[in-house]
Amino acid sequence: MNGRRLMPWALAGLAALASLVVAFGATAAPMKNERISLVTDVGRLNDRSFNQLAYQGLLRAERVLGIRKQVYESRTPADYTPNLTAGARTQSALTIAVGFLLGEDLNRVAKQFPKENFAIIDFPYEALADKPQNVRGLLFKSEQAGCLVGHIAVKQLIREKKRPILSAVGGIKLPSVDAFIAGYRFCARRVSRRAKVLIGYSQSFTDSAKCKEVALGHISRGAGAVFQVAGGCGLGALSAAKQKRKWGIGVDADQGYLGAHMLTSAVKRVDESVYATIQAIQKGTFRGGMNTTFSLANNGVGYGKLSRKVSRALRLEVEALKKAIIRGRVKPPATL
Partner 1 sequence: MSVTPAAQPPPQQEPTTLAARFALYQRAGGVITPLLTTLLALFIAGLVVRFTTGASPLDTGRAILDGSGLTWFIPESVMDIRSVAGTYDDWPSEAEARLNAEINLQQTLIFTTTLILTGLAVAFAFRCGLFNIGGQGQFFVGAIVAVAVGAEVSGVGRVLHVPLVLLCAALAGAVWAGIAGILRATVGAHEVITTIMLNWIAYWIGSYLFSLGGPLQSDRSRQVPISNDVQESAKLHVFWGDFQGLHVGFFIAIAALVAFYLILNRTTLGYGVRAVGYNPEAARYGGISVSRNYFLAMAISGLFAGLAGAVDIMGWQYRYGQIDIQQSDIGFAGIAVALLGRNTSIGIFFSALLFGALLTGSNTRNLALPIEPELAGNMTLIVQGLVVLFVAADLVILYLWRFRKRLGLPRREPKAVGS
The number of angstroms, rounded, from the C-alpha of 36 to the middle of its chain's C-alpha atoms is 18
* Candidate list 53, 61, 71, 278; residue touching partner 1; CB under 8 A: 71
Distance CA 131, CA 255 (A): 36
**Total residues interacting with partner 1, rule: CB under 8 A:** 39
Residues 6 or more apart whose Cβ sits within 8 Å of residue 77: 42, 101
* Region binding partner 1 by CB under 8 A among candidate stretches 43-51, 268-276, 283-291, 314-322: 43-51
CA 2 to each of CA 7, 8, 10, 15, 159: distance values in angstroms, whole numbers, following the listed order: 9, 11, 12, 20, 82
Which lies closer to partner 1 via its Cβ, residue 81 or residue 295? Answer: 81
* Candidate list 14, 16, 21, 46; residue touching partner 1; CB under 8 A: 46
User: Could you say whether residue 83 binds partner 1 (CB under 8 A)?
Assistant: yes
* Region binding partner 1 by CB under 8 A among candidate stretches 11-19, 87-95, 254-262, 283-291: 87-95
Nearest-10 Cα torsion for 149, 269, 231, 309: 30
* Candidate list 60, 111, 133, 172; residue touching partner 1; CB under 8 A: 172
Closest separation between CB of residue 33 and partner 1, Å? 9
DSSP state at residue 237? H
The answer to whether 303 and 149 have CB atoms below 8 angstroms apart is yes
CA-closest candidate to residue 60, choices 335, 271, 225: 271
User: Could you say whether residue 258 binds partner 1 (CB under 8 A)?
Assistant: no
Burial of 228 (0-12, 13-18, 19+ CB in 10 A): buried
User: Could you say whether residue 307 binds partner 1 (CB under 8 A)?
Assistant: no
* Region binding partner 1 by CB under 8 A among candidate stretches 131-139, 202-210, 283-291, 307-315: 202-210
Distance CA 35, CA 203 (A): 36
Helix (H) or strand (E) holding 80: helix 80-89
User: Could you say whether residue 266 binds partner 1 (CB under 8 A)?
Assistant: no
The answer to whether 134 and 115 have CB atoms below 8 angstroms apart is yes
DSSP state at residue 289? S
Closest separation between CB of residue 115 and partner 1, Å? 16
Which lies closer to partner 1 via its Cβ, residue 71 or residue 262? Answer: 71
* Region binding partner 1 by CB under 8 A among candidate stretches 3-11, 19-27, 66-74, 290-298: 66-74
Site residues, partner 1 (CB under 8 A): 41-42, 44-46, 55, 70-73, 75-79, 81-83, 85-86, 89-91, 100-101, 103-104, 109, 112, 127, 129, 172-175, 203-206
